[in-house]
Amino acid sequence: MSNKMKVLFVEDDAAVRLGGVQAFRLSGLEVQAFERAEHALRYIEFGFPGILVSDLRLPGMSGLSLMDHAIGTDASLPVILVTGHGDAVRMTLSKNPTRLSNWSMSRAERSNSAAWNSNSRSYDRRLPITTI
């Protein structure tokens, strides 16, 4: 069994997925890549020793729904959502503006520190949202 940090990477665009896998591996990370969120679900379990990186817009289950599932399974699992569509974040927030902020606040309330705590894997997950 490897001691490398594991990355679950969900991206529907084959070229972007391949580039992401290569970048993660060149950085010394172990990566499992999936075209659809549904395929990654069985790997998300309590205590998963890694991180979930997912596209926001996916066919079928969205990256946001995948994030909801992941934090419901293990609230300490780091999740990064990415998108090539700058309007996607704005559109998601306009449909339900409290969804991300409520999650962010509840995570902050459960965290004793805004900094990463390697013993408990807890940290403040306030979501910085940047669009280009």
Residue 61's φ and ψ, nearest 5 degrees, are -65, 130
The mean pLDDT value of the chain amounts to: 75
Domain spans of the chain, in order of start = 6-85
Give the model's confidence band at 3: pLDDT under 50 very low, under 70 low, under 90 confident, else very high. low
Asked whether residue 15 carries a pLDDT value surpassing 70, the answer given is yes
Determine the pLDDT at residue 70: 93
**29 touches 7 (CB < 8 A):** yes
* Architecture of the domain made up of 6-85: 3-Layer(aba) Sandwich (3.40)
* CA distance to 21, 32, 39, per residue, from 10 (Å): 10, 9, 9
* Tokens describing residue 69: 């599932």
Write out pLDDT tens, residues 23-42.
999 999 999 999 999 999 99
Read off the pLDDT of residues 73-99 as tens digits, 9 standing for 90 and up.
Answer: 999 999 988 887 666 555 555 555 545
pLDDT at 132: 38
Tens of pLDDT, residues 37-70: 999 999 999 999 999 999 988 999 999 899 999 9
Burial class (CB in 10 A: 0-12, 13-18, 19+), 5: middle
pTM of the model: 0.69
